[in-house]
Amino acid sequence: MTVRTRFAPSPTGFLHIGGARTALFNYLFARHHGGQYLLRIEDTDKARSTPEAVDQIIRSLAWLELPPDEPPVFQSAREARHAEVARELLAKGAAYLAYDTAEELAAMRTAAEAEKRPFRYDGSRWIDGATPPEGVAPVIRIKAPRGGETVVHDLVQGEVRVAHAELDDMIILRSDGSPTYLHAVVVDDHDMAITHVIRGDDHLTNTFRQCMVYDAMGWERPAFAHIPLIHGADGAKLSKRHGAVGVGEFENQGFLPEAVCNYLLRLGWGHGDEEFVRRERAIALFDLADVGRSASRMDYAKLTHLNGQYLRQADDQRLVDAVLARTGPTPHAARIASLMPTLKERAKSLNEIVAGVAFALTDTAPTPDGKAAALLTPETKPHLRAISDILAQTPWDKAAIEAAMRSYAETHAIKLGTVAQPMRAALTGSTTSPPVDAVLVALGREESLARLRGAAG
C-alpha cells in the first residue's frame, strides 16, 4: 500500500496555525512512509470561499515548505461526481428521496425540543413509499444503519464507538443538486485514494456519518487519526486574543518557517526531550503513535526562543535576502551582510534584525533617540573628535579598530565604554547596536568618520 494523505482546508479565511500543524503532520506521515501528501481545497461554501483565501493558503503552505506532491484538487469542480455517487446510492436502495418542506422539518425540531430529546430525522414515511407532494424538490438522504454500532479504530484516539441510534438519515444531495460536505469529503477521499485521514479531533463526530457513505458504497474506509486541537495558554480555543493565529502573521512577525514547523511538531508530538528537530530528522522519527490525546497549549515565548536558535544557525546571505525583502532595495546591502553575523546572535526574529540594521541603511547618521542624545555631551564630544582623528589613520578592520579604541582609553585613563558608548550613539542614533568595531567596519571609513565628526560638532 502506498500511503496517501491529504490536507483539506476551506478557503474562507487565512490558514490557521492549527491547520498548518495538521498539514505538517500529514506531510511528515506521508514522507516517513515514502508516500504522497496532497492538497484539497474544500470550496463548496460558495458564499464564503474566496480566491484570495485560496491564494493565501497555497502561499502559506509554500512558505512552510509543505507544497503538495500533486496539483491541488478543488472540491467545487467535482460536484457532478458527488451527485453521481448520491444517485448510485439511491439506485441501489441505500438512499431515498425525501420531500420534507422547511416547515415540516422545523416542526420536527420543535417537537424534539419540547420533548427534551436530540433531534433525529425520521424519514420512515418516504422510505415506506409515501406519495410525493407536488411542487417540492426532494433531497437525497442516506439510510442510516438500524441497530448496532459503528466502531472506528482511530490511530490517535484509540477505539471509538457510536450507537446507530445516535445517527439519522443525513442529506447527501440537496434539493438544488449540490452535495453536502460530509458526503463530498468521502467521495473525494475515495477517488483520491487517500489511505490515512489525519485531521483535528473536532471532526471525530463527522467520521461516523462519513462511514455510512463508505459502507453503503462498499468502499474500504481509510485509516483515521484525529489529533487534538491547539489551545491558548489559558486552555481556551486558540484565538486572536491569545496572539497571532494565522500563518501569515507569524511570517510578518519575523519567524522563520523551519522554526514554526519545529514548534508545531512539538505541539502534541514528542521524541523524548528532543526540542530542536530539523525537517529531515522529523521525517525519520514521525509516527502517529507518538501523538498525544490531550490538547496542546500555544506558548509564544517558547516559539520565540526556538526562532532565535534557528536564526543563529541560518545562512547569513539567506537572512540578508530576508531583510532586503522587508526593507526594499538599498545601495547598502553590503553593510547588512557585514553586520549579519553579530546581529543574528542576539536577535529573536527577523524583525529585530531589520530594526537593528536600520541605522546602516541611511547615508547620514540617524537622529539620536533620547538615551543616545544624552550621551553626546560637552564632556564626550572631545573624545569623538580625537578618536575620529586616530581612526582616520587606522587600518580598517575590526582588530585594528578595537586596538585603537582600547589604546585611546588607556592613554586617557578612562573606561572603554566612556568612549565606545558615545561613538555608538553618534554612529547609530541608539544606545543598543552590534559592537562598535563591527558598526565601523560595516559603515566604512568615510561614513563612520563623517558621523563621528558630525556628532562632535
Which of 77, 66, 17 minimizes the C-alpha distance to 42? 77
Contact 310, 350 (CB under 8 A): no
In one letter, which amino acid is 349? S
Q: Is 240 annotated as a binding residue?
A: yes
Burial level of 203, CB count in 10 A (0-12/13-18/19+)? Answer: middle
The per-type count for the chain, helices as H runs and strands as E runs, is 20, 12
Q: Sign of the CA dihedral 207, 209, 215, 217? A: negative
Helix axes 416-428, 445-456, angle to 10 degrees: 100
Which of 410, 451, 413 minimizes the C-alpha distance to 433? 451
Q: Out of 46, 116, 143, 240, pick the active-site residue.
A: 240
DSSP conformation class of 253:
T
Close Cβ partners of 273 (under 8 Å, ≥ 6 residues apart) = none
CA distance 373 to 16: 44
**Cα separation of the two ends of the chain:** 77
Distances (CA, A) of 372 to 74, 240, 348, 375: 57, 36, 23, 5
Contact 441, 413 (CB under 8 A): no
In one letter, which amino acid is 175? S
In one letter, which amino acid is 305? H
Contact 406, 416 (CB under 8 A): yes
Bridge partners of residue 97, in order along the sequence: 140
Close Cβ partners of 329 (under 8 Å, ≥ 6 residues apart) = none
415: annotated active-site residue: no
CA distance 162 to 208: 7
Using only the alpha carbons of the chain, give its radius of gyration.
31
Catalytic residues: 240
Q: Which residues are annotated as a binding site?
A: 240
Q: Which residues are annotated as a binding site for ATP?
A: 240
